[in-house]
Amino acid sequence: MKNAWARRGLQMFVLAAVCLSWQIVSALQWVDPLLLPAPAAVFAALGELLQTEDVLYGLLVTGSEVLVAMVIIVPVAIALGMYSVERSKMERIFAPFAQFGTAVPQSIFLPVFIFIFGVGFLEKVVFGATHALFVVMLNSMAATRSVPESLTRTARFYGASSFQVYSRIYFPYMLPVLLQGLRLGFVLCVTGVLIAEMYVSRAGIGNLLNVWGASYDLPRLMAGIILVGGLTVVFNELLRAAEHYSGRWRES
Amino acid sequence: MSGTRPARGEADEKRAFKPRGVLRFFAVFGVSLAVWEALVRLDAISSLVLAPPSSIVQAARQDGAQFLAALGTTAYEIFLAVLISWGVGIVLGLLIGILPFVRDVLTPLLDGAFAIPWVILYPLLLAWFGIGSPSKIAFGVIFGVLPVMLSTISGIRSIEARYFLLARSFNASRRDTLTKICVPLALPSIVSGLRIGAGLAIIAVIVGEMLGSTEGIGYLIGFYETQLYTGHVYLGLLLALLFALAGNAFLGYLERRVPKAR
């Protein structure tokens, strides 16, 4: 336990050292301050951004695009994954399809999504959802495979209902792997939505980052990068904690 | 995940390469091309949404040279991005991996960094490196370097302690431990990291070109999209897709050639 705290402390120290070297580089003016603003300026801009209505609205737009995409695609992907493993004939069709889906660089197909859905909320949602689809589906397949058949058979032999089998055996076995898939899917979904926003859009935080970059407003741009990066890291760590917590029963 | 129900394995893959499978593939391919063309000709799908094969061929005849030149630029950027991310990733991964203390401190940070949507750095890279090739190469490296690093580290971490004990009992130098124990035993993991890293770098370079540039295949796709030249857009997409899949297949082949850990 003490070791874990020491490790946390050292990690904080590493981050502080990065900030410190950044401060030193910009204080000594090794780099044009126009290109590398001082940390103080960036953090001041960050505080200002958090009070700007446009920025909060941009975060809201991007956040709701990601949320809607995940809410739509995650149940579909999980169901497809479970179904394909349970009906093992289907797995032969679905598994290569999903593997191929993860190998295809979906991001470059953005123009097709724009041709179909136009530019706007729907296009971002669909584009983000396709980014998450395959990874969640593959994890759902792995999760379903990790359910021991001996347990489900025994349960059914003793007269357990389908609901009981799914809630008492499938759910606890699948949850940690599903949460891992959800986490990976979330990261890919955010990336997809941001790419779509940075490519063409009128709203969202990706659009704002583009605007700040194009106008060489680097303090705001770097503050925005820290803001978006920080938010995704926080969400990722929350999901990781849930994943760890849900798998804890296995260890005992 | 090792499960109770095994995933479909190599047997299925091998079966796909039988001549009959190839024949069937071409038959399906030909029929879908015909259906595709027919759907657009009959106005079931607008040609503004999906360009028919004939207009893709026409685009290739008209501006094929331009697309090939753009592909050359993209290939050059990808080549450098992959090379740099492999080199930097392996060196950093080995450095972090062989020092257990540094590894324990840094690995969670790197894992957390994996969650950051790195695309947000692109406007910054454009501001720093300009609109030319360097910003795309840097973007590719940012995507490519982390998987190489992480899998190098995890490859070394998974080496059993007895090998290090062996090295120490033979009084092996640090260098010998690195070249004779760490690298060969971690090799399969490193190579799979190289494949993932290269795959991401390829996508990143093309996406970077789409987001802001004046040359390359990604730029052409974006340029012709604003002109609503769907045939040209789909030609560019097909070329980019083939490029990425070919790269992926080649790297997968390399990965299979590397002998498994003993």
Answer for the pair B98, B182: CB distance below 8 angstroms, yes or no: yes
Measure A12 CA to nearest chain B CA, in Å.
10
Residue A89: band (very low, low, confident or very high) from pLDDT cuts 50, 70, 90: low
Number of H helices, E strands in chain B: 11, 0
The rounded radius of gyration (Å) of the Cα atoms in chain B is: 23
Number of H helices, E strands in chain A: 12, 0
Is residue B46 exposed (0-12), middle (13-18) or buried (19+ Cβ within 10 Å)? exposed
Asked whether the beta carbons of residue B8 and residue A95 sit closer than 8 angstroms, the reply is: yes
Q: Nearest CB to B116: which of A14, A218, A232? A: A232
Measure A159 CA to nearest chain B CA, in Å.
22
The two structure tokens encoding residue A243: 């994943």
Taking contacts as CB-CB distances below 8 angstroms, the residues of chain A near B109 are: 11, 14-15
Taking only the tens place, the pLDDT of each residue in B209-262 is 999 888 999 999 999 988 888 889 999 999 998 888 888 888 888 888 876 544
pLDDT at residue B192 greater than cutoff 70: yes
Taking only the tens place, the pLDDT of each residue in A30-76 is 777 778 888 888 999 999 999 999 999 999 999 999 999 999 999 99
Q: How do the residues of chain A divide into helix, strand and coil, expressed in percent and rounded to 5?
A: 85, 0, 15
Chain A contact present for B122, CB below 8 A: yes
pLDDT at residue A93 greater than cutoff 80: no
Task: Flag whether the pTM goes above 0.90.
Answer: no
What's residue B7's pLDDT? Answer: 47
Chain A contact present for B244, CB below 8 A: yes
Asked whether the beta carbons of residue A224 and residue B210 sit closer than 8 angstroms, the reply is: no
Q: Which has the closest alpha carbon to B244: B114, B78, B122, B89? A: B78
The two structure tokens encoding residue B24: 């069937």
Asked whether the beta carbons of residue A108 and residue B240 sit closer than 8 angstroms, the reply is: yes
Length of chain A: 252
Answer for the pair A107, A192: CB distance below 8 angstroms, yes or no: yes
Q: What is the mean pLDDT of chain B?
A: 84
pLDDT at residue B17 greater than cutoff 80: no
What's residue B108's pLDDT? Answer: 85
The two structure tokens encoding residue B159: 């080496």
Asked whether the beta carbons of residue B117 and residue A10 sit closer than 8 angstroms, the reply is: no
What is the residue type of B68?
A: L
Cβ count within 10 A of residue B86: 20
